[in-house]
Amino acid sequence: MRRTKMLLLPSANTLKSYTGKATGEVGITEMMKKRLQAELQCLTDMDKFVSVQIDEVALRAQEIYLKNYETYIGGVDYGGVLDATKAGSKLANKMLTFNVSGLAANYSSPFGVFLVKDLTSEQLLELTKYVVTELEKLGFFVFQLVTDNLSVNTRLFKLLNPNESTLKCEVPHPTDPSRTIHLCFDSSHIIKNIRNQFIDKNLKKKTTRTLISVTSSRCMKHKKTLFFAQFDTSAKNI
């Protein structure tokens, strides 16, 4: 069609760069890679140990038309890593983000964002493997994965353990089986959970007399007394 010169078509390269821009919005973009490459140049070997954090942030489910690129944005989009056609025309309500930060050196950068809805842990596993592979290609050593205490993430950790599906803090590295990758949950989220259960649940030890939680009516009284006592001392100090 080009040879006939009946139509003036953009060159193949131009078309490629257009698609690059449209899909490049999601996933691991060129800019993220460039940024980490630039970062890499001023790092020593020790600084290349990184921790990858995985978390989701809520989005408003809304589709927006981008006039400049003539595309829509807001649907479920795995950045070309996974097949998004199964999701149909579902709108994304979460943004899954992978963040890279150094263990020895102080740097951190987002590396991979995906628009998701109702993500299963199998899909999350594929995305995680993809991100870790890309990071290792750049020259980083992925030392550990951190997530919060969501059930999908717990299942991801179980799936990362290939032999038996149990939770283990060390599993084989996705790219290099001779190494291990460490898994852990975010300690602040754990403390938040402990705090909530300390207040809401009826934590008990062996006998009923040794209550731990502050829920029972007797302990509620303690808490109030304690609160007033604290109030008293602070008032005296002033």
Partner 1 sequence: MQIFSLETIAALNTFKLQGVSGFLGADETINFMKNINKWIQIHDIGSLTQWRKQRLPNKKPFNEPDDPRLKWLRDDFLPWLEEWKSQVPSENFFTNETYEAIVLTTKSTLVKVPYLLSIGFTSVLTRRFTSDKIERLFSALRQANGGNYNMDAKAALEATNKVVSTGYTYISIDCNVP
Measured CA distances, 140 to 101, 125, 157, 195 (Å): 11, 20, 21, 36
* Contact between residue 108 and residue 84 where contact means Cβ atoms under 8 Å apart: no
Query: Site size for partner 1, by CB under 8 A?
Result: 88
The first and second tokens of residue 73, run together, are: 């944005």
Q: Please list every residue from 149 through 168 that binds partner 1, using CB under 8 A.
A: 149, 151, 154, 157, 167-168
- DSSP secondary structure letters along 128-160: HHHHHHHHHHHT-EEEEEEE-S-HHHHHHHHHH
38 sits near partner 1 (criterion: CB under 8 A): yes
147 sits near partner 1 (criterion: CB under 8 A): yes
The first and second tokens of residue 65, run together, are: 């038309």
- Stretch binding partner 1 (CB under 8 A), from 1-9, 13-21, 39-47, 122-130: 39-47
15 sits near partner 1 (criterion: CB under 8 A): no
Among 137, 176, 179, 194, indicate the residue that binds partner 1 (CB under 8 A): 194
Binding mask 97-126 for partner 1 (x = CB under 8 A): x-x-xxxxxxxxxx--x-x-----------
- 125 vs 211, beta carbon nearer partner 1: 211
Q: Please list every residue from 46 through 85 that binds partner 1, using CB under 8 A.
A: 46, 49, 51, 53-55, 57-60, 62, 64, 66, 73-74
**Exposed, middle or buried by CB within 10 Å (0-12, 13-18, 19+), for 108?**
middle
Q: Which of 31, 27, 21 lies closest to 131, judged by CA? A: 27
Q: Which of 191, 160, 157, 186 lies closest to 174, judged by CA? A: 160
- 9 vs 220, beta carbon nearer partner 1: 220
148 sits near partner 1 (criterion: CB under 8 A): yes
- Stretch binding partner 1 (CB under 8 A), from 12-20, 80-88, 129-137, 204-212: 204-212
- 126 vs 186, beta carbon nearer partner 1: 186
Strand-pairing partners, residue 101, are 51, 108
